[in-house]
Homo-oligomer: A and B are copies of this chain.
C-alpha cells in the first residue's frame, strides 16, 4: 500500500473525486497553479485544468459565497481557506447561507460543499496561524464538522465530505501534515512513513462522517480527543502507564455519542482534550453530554485539558499548547482522586 503523508492523502482524495466526478471543483487562495501554500492541491490544476482547479481572489466570503452558488448549480466545490484563522470573513456565508440553505428552501436548494482548512498551532505561527475554531461550527445547525488526525482518515473522510450532500467544514491540523506530532517539540520530528495510518489505499474508499475511532483501548480512563491531541494522548498513556482508552472523535458533528458513552461507562473516568481555548470549546459540549449520560458511572468529574483562554501566543506557544506534561499531570490527578 502506498505511504502518504497527510498532504498527499488529502490531495489524493481530491484527485480521486475529481477523476470520478466532473462536478467536483477545487479553488481557493493560491491553490491553482502553485498548488496551495501547504501544497495540498499541487498538480491538480495541471491534471484537471484551470476550469476545475483555480486561484481565487483573497476574499474568504467570496470563496464560500461563490461555492454556495456553484453547489446550488449542481457542482461539488471543495474549497480551501488558507488558515482556519481566516475563516471568520466567511462565517456569515457559512452560518447564514450554506448551513441554512436546505432548511429555508425545504431542500429545493442545498449546499454540498466542503471547506478545507488547516488548523491548530505548534508551528510558531502566532495568533493568526494557530487557531482551532471548531466549536464555532458545532454550534451551527446545518453544517458538519470534521477534524482528521492521520493520512488514512484524511483521505477517506475527505472523500466522504465531498460526497456528502450537506456542507462540511473539514479541519486539517497543520502540525500533523508531515507526521504524528505528540507535543514533544524538543524531540526529533516523526513522519508518517513509520505509522500504520500512513498506509493509504489507492483509489476510492471512505471513512464515514459520524463515527469515532477508538485508537487505543484501555480501562482506567477515557480520553476524548481529536486532531493533534490524539498523539499527545497516546504519548502520555505510554509515558504514565495509565491505561487510557483514547478516542479520536474525528467527526464532532454528528458526534458518535454511543462510542463515547460505552467507553466512559467502562472506564468511569473521562478526560476531554483539545487545543482550542477552554471556555465554550467543544470540550464543554463533550463534558456536558458525558456527565448527563454517564453520571452514575463517573468516579471523578469530567476533566478538560485545553489551550488557555488567551489568544494563541507566539513565543509562549509551548506554554499554551496542552502538551504531554500538562496532560500527564492532569491524568495522574484524575486517577489519584477518589
Contact = CB atoms under 8 A, between A and B. Distances in A.
A119 interface: no
Contact of A311 (B139, B142, B287): B142
A65 to B, nearest CB: 11
B141 A281 contact: no
A280 interface: yes
Given A103-B127, A127-B100, A280 B138 contact: yes
Given A128-B96, A280-B285, A141 B311 contact: yes
Interface stretch (A14-22, A155-163, A193-201, A297-305): A297-305
Contacts of A135: 139, 280
Contacts of A141: 277, 279, 309-311
Interface string A97-122: 00110011000000000000000000
A49 interface: no
Residue of A61, A139, A141 ringed by the most chain B CB atoms within 10 A? A139
A interface SS class: helix
Residue of A99, A136, A282 ringed by the most chain B CB atoms within 10 A? A136
Contact of A287 (B89, B138, B287): B287
Interface string A283-294: 111011001110
A288 B281 CA distance: 10
Number of copies: 2
A138 to B, nearest CB: 4
A276 B139 CA distance: 9
Interface size class of A (residues with CB under 8 A): 35 or more
Interface of A: 61, 85, 88-89, 91-92, 95-96, 99-100, 103-104, 127-128, 135-136, 138-139, 141-142, 253, 276-277, 279-285, 287-288, 291-293, 295, 298, 300-304, 309-311
Contacts of A99: 311
A274 to B, nearest CB: 12
B127 A281 contact: no
A326 B142 CA distance: 24
A148 B337 CA distance: 39
A36 B219 CA distance: 59
Which 6 pairs show the lowest CB-CB distances between chains A and B? A287-B288, A88-B92, A139-B280, A284-B284, A295-B301, A291-B291
A302 to B, nearest CB: 6
30 contacts: A61-B89, A88-B95, A88-B96, A89-B92, A96-B128, A103-B310, A103-B311, A104-B127, A136-B139, A138-B280, A139-B276, A139-B277, A139-B279, A139-B280, A141-B311, A253-B279, A280-B280, A280-B284, A280-B285, A283-B288, A284-B284, A284-B285, A284-B288, A287-B287, A288-B302, A291-B291, A291-B301, A291-B302, A292-B301, A293-B301
